[in-house]
Structure 1
Amino acid sequence: MNGLPNELLIQIASHLDGAPPSIRKFTHEPSADLTYSVDAPLKDLSRVSWKWRKIVLPILFRYSRVELDNDPQWVPIDANLIEAMQCQLSKLSDHEFQIYQKMRSKFKSNSTFRLGQAFDDPLINLCRLQQGDNFLKFVPNILWIPHLSFAEFGRFVARHNLKHHIKSLVVFTQKEYELRHVAAADALLGRQIFSVWSQIFSGLEPTRLVVAAPPASLAALLDTQMLSADAWAFDMKLHYIELQYEPSQLDHMRTSDCRPWNLALIHRRPWTYLGYNEGSSITAFSVYEYHLKQSPKMLYLILVRLAKEVQDCCNIRSFSFHGVFPFGTNVTIIVRALQKLKTLRKIQVQLAPGPENSLLSSPKRIGRAQPRDLWLEWNESYKVITGYLGLMEFEDGSEFISKDCNETGLAGEVDEHMQALQKRGSGWRKEGNHRWVRDSTLDQNAPSLTELSNNGMRQFSWWRKYLDSYN
């Protein structure tokens, strides 16, 4: 084997290069195992010898992952903490003593101000822990802000010339960002998010980027909001967002003003595909008046922002949404945002648990949720989606894919919804088990609006009003 030329060894190694777990598992219910795989043949091969290590390295890191720092590093400095530091001056580090001196003059000395609650104090400053800060490291309220220590990985990439070999990157964290009640955190958060994306895109050129994070952290990383006070009811541990672009679009990016090439992730590259997985909404079905609850709205805000800030030549062409029994109202809001995007040519959805998910057979997961309610929301969501497919002017060849058709019993249900769409006058040709293609030549076989029955007219009008109500 050692006598073979490197070209043949590279060819041999390439046969072990399968689809990474971040692709295979993206449609699964979000978990910390997104990038984990039981089988790792390329890693095993890289341990055989230094020669194989050198051969495998560019392939091995084609799909990479970086994790945001997990340790909380920021301390809110308020009047109460300064008073506590005053009792320990001899034990403070140089950095802690500088903080004490700088902040002491900013706080009033009256007892009302000193005893006020820390997070209500308008003069809160956030200070980062440094090595040797033994007093501050034991403060109860040490806080977390998204931060990436990229230097070591960046040096590794540069040393082995891997920059252009890394095609996909997963940015991962399980930490929840909880600083929205501290006004002083806003500017700091902006700087930290700018640093995260600047480090990544200055050291790498991934054409695919996945961010996996709790909803609040993902909102921070996407420079947007959650627009929901009910996130607790849904108990969504992680959301995924996936972005892709064609390398040929980079030249267009550098020479055009078709989008604001600013700090936000969605404007860092000319993304042509956006995929989103919000996980399961089933926990909320056990909450009193569940239908009034609102799931996090980051996807809606991102889509609206793309529609407002990006011209058609540089906007997304393909979109996918994955969730487990999302509320019909949530799907309607997403559809309202999609209506503003005129560039979509491919849409994929999955709204029921996949074959890997045993949710429906787990009484603990279902809780007090009624199965009938779950399927009512699923059915309502497909009504909204097919209503959208019928109202929008998709060009011929546009695709709609339902991953739910892979499940026994659901293919017929989805097919009924698409057949109802055909009856309303929109031609979508079925190809295979789960794919429909827009075909305007089929429109002429459907009855015109004037030929529809009064009931059919009322139904058509209802879809439009239903969608318009979420403008």
Structure 2
Amino acid sequence: MSNIMPHEMSEHNGRPSADAVESVSIETLPNEILSQIFGYLDTLPPSYSIEALHDEPKPDITSSDDHPLKSSSLVSERWREISKPVLFKHAQFIVRKHPSGRVTLSQQIKPFLDFVSSNSLHAIRSFTLLSHECGVTDDPQGEYRLNNPANFWFSLFQVIDPIDLLIVAAPEALGALTSCRVYLTEAWNFDCPCHYLRLQRKTEASTVRLGAAVPDKALNVTSDSQADGLMDNTSANLSSSTSSGQGSLRNHHSNASALFAIRPWDKLLLNEGSFIKAYATYEFWLRKAPSVNLIGSATPTDKAQISPTIRDMSYIAMFPMCNHFADLTENLPRLDRLYCQLVPRNEILSDPRKMVQVESEDLWMERNASYAALMRELFNSPPSNNYQHLKIFESGDAADRAAWGMAVEYVKRAGNGWKVGGDGVFVRKQEDIKPSEGETEEQPTTFHGSLIRWAWNGTAELPVSAYPLYDHPMGP
């Protein structure tokens, strides 16, 4: 029954007058409705931007001036509590340099983990770790030990279970966090204050793989079933023992990296930033960049730390030297998809401060040589090692127009199902992969293998053409 008296009705339409309608405040809405409203204010973090991840690495990649959900959470205590599950869906933690220098990673992150537990924020989907400290360690004495971040990662993944992990750190810190070797002797030649390492997986793990170590046979995984078996059967505990450093080679190497073994990651992105500064040095092509050795290429005794479950890898760098890029081309992990981007998309080439004493022709020549080496491996006869399994190669860079035209003519003659799928794109169907007529095992086709997509980011006339490198169609 209405509480509005007849005399409060409007004379014109019989509806309640404005004065009679009781004002409604958003505070009267139930928590469930408010939670839905806050959900519409949720936006992806800046670190999810492909453009940002493929650009020159910056420590402030997570910073943004647009944060409506965070602003709303500051309105009242009630709004804060209601918005927490959405607000902390994408979390970050910053490792700062402690005055005493004796605070371990596990000690630093404990307040954050306590906060997550006390507020039941276990549904964190993505986690970003930013390190402002180069000498990262989880040892109370500040020493570097084999896999000493293991307890840190175990503690973290006992509380949260993100499907997206981004580490923003200097090469030295990234090496410590991943238990990988990093060569630092010539780091001063390079202008790369931080790198990006991003790991992703499709769904949350059904069980927490604490203490799992990847056995040596993981290095020669040749099928998906083998990879799954390795992850399910890795039960050896990660050990910690003091490493023996050799000069500036800090060895965080062990039988397995806790970070890679703790979850079945399937996608990896590594952005090593700009190599341009080193081109101003004498014999720049011999310079060794500070780079985490994920694929075990520094010495013959090194073993790959990359998880055997990873099938999609993106490598981004700004004009890496061909000798450095060769570490990837010669030690390619077992992948289904490889993405490379070697040319910057920002205006760094127009910045006189970045190009001091640098000959731009050198940059493009190294770019061309790097891709030529990769093309040679892709279309070897027959494809060697893990190239025989690669299904997709994509580049964020434009192909040299002259070299591309030559490749198109060659593909038309070679056949084997290949078709031009667009400017800079070759495609074929899986069922079209078959030996050419009259082909023998001793003389396999150039296009024998699993590759079904070979795509550039269009074509362009490059400052230095790659055409002279291709004396025969698929390699120098």
**Same topology, TM > 0.5:** yes
Q: 1:247 aligns with which of 200, 203, 226?
A: 203
What is the match of residue 14 of structure 1? 39
What is the DSSP-based 3-state SS (H/G/I as helix, E as strand, rest coil) of the residue aligned with 2:114? helix
What is the match of residue 72 of structure 2? 45
- Look up the equivalent residue of 1:60 and give its one-letter code: L
What is the match of residue 367 of structure 2? 378
What is the match of residue 171 of structure 1? 129
Alignment of 1:282-301 (within 5 A): 282-301=276-295
Kindly state the Cα deviation for residue 207 of structure 1 after the two structures are TM-superposed: 1.5
1:146 and 1:177 in contact (8 A); partners too: no
- 1:67-125: per-residue Cα shift (whole Å, max 9, x none)? 11312534xxxxxxxxxxxxxxxxxxxxxxxxxxxxxxxxxxxxxxxxxxxxxxxxxxx
- 1:309-334: per-residue Cα shift (whole Å, max 9, x none)? 789xx521110011111111211111
What is the match of residue 61 of structure 1? 88
Alignment of 1:5-404 (within 5 A): 5-24=30-49, 25-74=52-101, 128=102, 149-163=108-122, 165-177=123-135, 186=143, 189-190=145-146, 192-227=148-183, 229-247=185-203, 249-251=205-207, 256-258=232-234, 262=238, 264-301=258-295, 315-338=309-332, 341-342=333-334, 344-354=335-345, 357-391=346-380, 392=383, 398-404=391-397
- 1:259-306: per-residue Cα shift (whole Å, max 9, x none)? 866362111211111110000000000001101111134144468999
Structure 1 window deviating more from structure 2 (375-384 vs 2-11): it is: 2-11
1:16 and 1:42 in contact (8 A); partners too: yes
Kindly state the Cα deviation for residue 358 of structure 1 after the two structures are TM-superposed: 1.8
- 1:205-264: per-residue Cα shift (whole Å, max 9, x none)? 111111111111111111121135322211321111111123365449588215866362
Kindly state the Cα deviation for residue 402 of structure 1 after the two structures are TM-superposed: 1.8
What is the DSSP-based 3-state SS (H/G/I as helix, E as strand, rest coil) of the residue aligned with 1:269? coil
Q: 1:372 to 1:270 in 2, by over 3 A?
A: same
Tell me the distance in 1 between the aligned counterparts of 2:293 and 2:427: 25
Structure 1 window deviating more from structure 2 (363-372 vs 426-435): it is: 426-435
Alignment of 1:428-467 (within 5 A): 431=421, 437=427, 439-440=429-430, 441=432, 459=472
Tell me the distance in 1 between the aligned counterparts of 2:73 and 2:291: 43
Size of the aligned set, in residue pairs, is 376
Q: CA RMSD in A?
A: 4.0
Structure 1 window deviating more from structure 2 (248-257 vs 259-268): it is: 248-257
- 1:122-174: per-residue Cα shift (whole Å, max 9, x none)? xxxxxx48xxxxxxxxxxxxxxx7665122211211121101x2111111112
Q: Give 1 or 2: higher helix fraction.
A: 1
- 1:338-379: per-residue Cα shift (whole Å, max 9, x none)? 1xx33x11221211112xx22011111011111111111111
1:65 and 1:171 in contact (8 A); partners too: yes
1:69 and 1:147 in contact (8 A); partners too: no
Tell me the distance in 2 between the aligned counterparts of 1:378 and 1:204: 40
2:133 and 2:173 in contact (8 A); partners too: yes
Unaligned runs of 5+ in 1: 75-127, 130-144, 464-471
- Look up the equivalent residue of 1:279 and give its one-letter code: G
Kindly state the Cα deviation for residue 446 of structure 1 after the two structures are TM-superposed: 11
Q: 1:34 to 1:451 in 2, by over 3 A?
A: closer
What is the DSSP-based 3-state SS (H/G/I as helix, E as strand, rest coil) of the residue aligned with 1:364? coil
Tell me the distance in 1 between the aligned counterparts of 2:206 and 2:421: 34
Structure 1 window deviating more from structure 2 (382-391 vs 38-47): it is: 382-391
Kindly state the Cα deviation for residue 383 of structure 1 after the two structures are TM-superposed: 1.6
- 1:365-423: per-residue Cα shift (whole Å, max 9, x none)? 01111111111111122222333332447689933222224xxxx58479559748847
1:411 and 1:434 in contact (8 A); partners too: no
2:268 and 2:313 in contact (8 A); partners too: yes
What is the match of residue 110 of structure 1? none
Q: 1:208 to 1:365 in 2, by over 3 A?
A: same
- Percent identity between the two aligned chains: 27
Q: 1:322 to 1:253 in 2, by over 3 A?
A: same
Tell me the distance in 2 between the aligned counterparts of 1:41 and 1:147: 32
Kindly state the Cα deviation for residue 57 of structure 1 after the two structures are TM-superposed: 1.4
Tell me the distance in 1 between the aligned counterparts of 2:470 and 2:343: 30
Kindly state the Cα deviation for residue 9 of structure 1 after the two structures are TM-superposed: 3.3
Alignment of 1:418-437 (within 5 A): 419=408, 422=411, 431=421, 437=427
What is the DSSP-based 3-state SS (H/G/I as helix, E as strand, rest coil) of the residue aligned with 2:272? strand
Tell me the distance in 2 between the aligned counterparts of 1:384 and 1:63: 39
1:250 and 1:269 in contact (8 A); partners too: no
- Look up the equivalent residue of 2:41 and give its one-letter code: L
Unaligned runs of 5+ in 2: 1-25, 211-230, 239-256, 447-467
Structure 1 window deviating more from structure 2 (275-284 vs 388-397): it is: 388-397
Tell me the distance in 2 between the aligned counterparts of 1:36 and 1:240: 15
Tell me the distance in 1 between the aligned counterparts of 2:28 and 2:237: 50
Q: TM-score normalized by structure 2?
A: 0.67
- Look up the equivalent residue of 1:347 and give its one-letter code: L
What is the match of residue 120 of structure 1? none
Tell me the distance in 1 between the aligned counterparts of 2:425 and 2:31: 42
Structure 1 window deviating more from structure 2 (326-335 vs 393-402): it is: 393-402
- Look up the equivalent residue of 2:314 and give its one-letter code: S
What is the DSSP-based 3-state SS (H/G/I as helix, E as strand, rest coil) of the residue aligned with 2:65? coil
1:328 and 1:380 in contact (8 A); partners too: yes
Tell me the distance in 2 between the aligned counterparts of 1:19 and 1:34: 13
Q: TM-score normalized by structure 1?
A: 0.68
What is the DSSP-based 3-state SS (H/G/I as helix, E as strand, rest coil) of the residue aligned with 1:284? helix
